[in-house]
Structure 1
Amino acid sequence: MAVDDRFNKDFRHTDRDRFHVSRGEIVTGPVTDWATDFSHLDPRWAEDPFPIMDDLRQRCPIAHTDRFGGAWLPTLYEDVAAIAYDTDHFSSLGTNLSEFRPPRDLAPIGEAPPITSDPPFHHGARKLLLPAFTKTAVAKLEPGTRAFCHSLIDGFKGRDVVDAAHDYAQQIPSRVIGDMLGLPPEDRQRFHELATKLEGEGKQSREERIEHMGRVFIYLLAEVNKHVEQPRDDLISYLLNAELHGRKLEPNHVIGTIMLLLIAGISTTYSAIGTSLWHLAGHPQDRERLVAEPELLPTALEEFLRAYAPVTMARLVKDDMHWRGVDMKADDWILLSFPAANRDPAQFDRADEVVIDREANRHAAFGLGIHRCLGSHLARMELRVALEVWLERVPEFSLQNPATVAWGGTQARGPKTLPLRIR
Structure 2
Amino acid sequence: MTVDDRFQQQEFEKRMRNRPDGVRNEAVTGPVSDWATDFSHTEPEWAADPYPIQDDLRQRCPIAHTDRFGGAWLPTRYEDVAAIAYDTERFSSRSIIVSNFRPPLEAAPVGGTPPISSDPPFHHDARKLLLPMFTKSVVSRQEPATRAFCHSLLDALEGQDVIDAARDYAQHIPTRVIADMLGFPPEDGPRFREFVENALEGVNLPPEERGPRMEKLFGYLLEQIRDHVDNPRDDLTTYLVNAELYGRKLEPFHVAGTMALLLIAGIDTTWSAIGASLWHLARTPADRERLVAEPALLPSAMEEFLRAYAPVTMARLVKEDMHWHGVDMKADDWVLLSFPAANRDPAQFDRADEVVIDREVNRHAAFGLGIHRCAGSHLARMELRVALEVWLERIPVFGLDDPAAVTWATGQVRGPRTLPLRIG
Asked if these proteins are the same fold (TM beyond 0.5), I'd say yes
Between 1:14-23 and 1:369-378, the stretch displaced more is 14-23
Bigger Cα displacement from structure 2, 406-415 vs 165-174: 406-415
Matches within 5 A, 1:1-16: 4-10=4-10, 11-16=12-17
Residues 33-87 of structure 1 deviation map (CA, whole Å, 9 limit, x = unaligned): 0000001111111100000000000000000000011000000000000000000
1 CA distance for matches of 2:259 and 2:21?
19
Alpha-carbon distance between aligned partners in 2 of 1:53 and 1:188, rounded to the nearest angstrom:
34
The within-5 A match list for 1:17-416 is 18=19, 21-416=22-417
Distance in 2 between the 1:312 and 1:28 partners? 19
Any conservation in 2 of the 1:397–1:420 contact (CA below 8 Å)?
Answer: yes
Question: Partners of 2:108 and 2:139 in 1: how far apart?
Answer: 31
> Which range moves more in the overlay, 16-25 or 115-124?
16-25
Alignment length (residue pairs): 422
Q: Is the 2:77–2:342 Cα contact (8 Å) retained in structure 1?
A: yes
Q: Is contact 2:198-2:214 (8 Å) kept? A: no
Q: Tell me if the contact between 1:17 and 1:210 (Cα under 8 Å) persists in the aligned partners.
A: no
Deviations 1:196-226 (A, max 9, x none): 3212231322111111111111111011000
- Partner Cα distance (1:339, 1:238) in 2: 33
Matched residues in 1 for 2:20 and 2:189: separation? 25
In 2: Cα distance, 1:375 partner to 1:16 partner: 31
Counterparts of 1:364 and 1:214, CA distance in 2? 32
Distance 2:159 2:5 in 1: 53
| Equivalent residue letter for 2:203 | G
Residue pair 1:90, 1:316 contacting (<8 A) in 2 also: yes
Amino acid aligned to 2:401? Q
State the TM-score, normalized to the length of structure 2: 0.98
2:75–2:337 contact (8 Å) kept in structure 1: yes
Q: Give the residue type in structure 2 aligned to 1:219.
A: Y
CA shift digits 1:125-144 (9 cap, x unpaired): 00010011000001110000
- Take 2:18 and 2:83, find their aligned partners in 1: how far apart are those partners? 33
Long gaps (5+) in structure 1: none
Asked if 2 retains the 8 angstrom alpha-carbon contact of 1:18 and 1:102, the reply is no
Does the aligned pair in 1 maintain the 2:23–2:104 contact within 8 Å? no
Task: Tell me the alpha carbon deviations over residues 346-370 of structure 1, each in whole angstroms, 9 at most, x when there is no partner.
Answer: 0000000000000000000000000
- State the one-letter code of the partner of 2:4: D
Determine the C-alpha separation between the residues in 2 that align with 1:19 and 1:195: 24
1:177 is aligned with what amino acid?
I
> Aligned partner of 2:8: which letter?
N
Using the alignment, how far apart are the partners of 2:241 and 2:337 within structure 1? 32
In the superposition, the TM-score normalised over structure 1's length comes to 0.98
Provide the secondary structure at the position in 1 that maps to 2:228. helix
Q: Do the aligned partners of residues 365 and 123 (structure 1) sit closer, same or farther apart at CA in structure 2, a change above 3 Å counting?
A: same
Q: Structure 1 residues 14-23 or 92-101, which shifts more? A: 14-23
Q: Which amino acid aligns with 1:261?
A: L
Contact 1:6-1:250 within 8 A present in 2 as well: yes
**Contact 1:68–1:97 (CA<8 Å) still a contact in 2?**
yes
- Is the Cα contact below 8 Å between 2:65 and 2:73 reproduced in 1? yes
Which stretch of the first structure deviates more once superposed, 308-317 or 20-29?
20-29
Aligned Cα root-mean-square deviation (Å): 1.1
Tell me how far apart the structure 1 counterparts of residues 372 and 47 of structure 2 sit (CA, whole Å).
Answer: 24
Task: Report the Cα offset of residue 17 of structure 1.
Answer: 6.1
Displacement after TM superposition at 1:409 (Å): 3.1
Q: Deviations over 1:144-180 (max 9, x none)?
A: 0000000001011221001000000000000000000
CA contact (8 A) 1:19 1:210 kept: no
Q: How far has the Cα of 1:312 moved from its partner? A: 0.1
Q: For residue 344 of structure 2, what is the amino acid of its counterpart?
A: R
Q: Is the 8 A contact 2:95 2:117 kept in 1?
A: yes
Q: Distance in 1 between matches of 2:100 and 2:21?
A: 9
Q: Secondary structure at the match of 2:355?
A: coil
- The aligned amino acid for 1:142 is E
What CA distance in whole angstroms lies between the structure 1 residues aligned with 2:160 and 2:216? 37
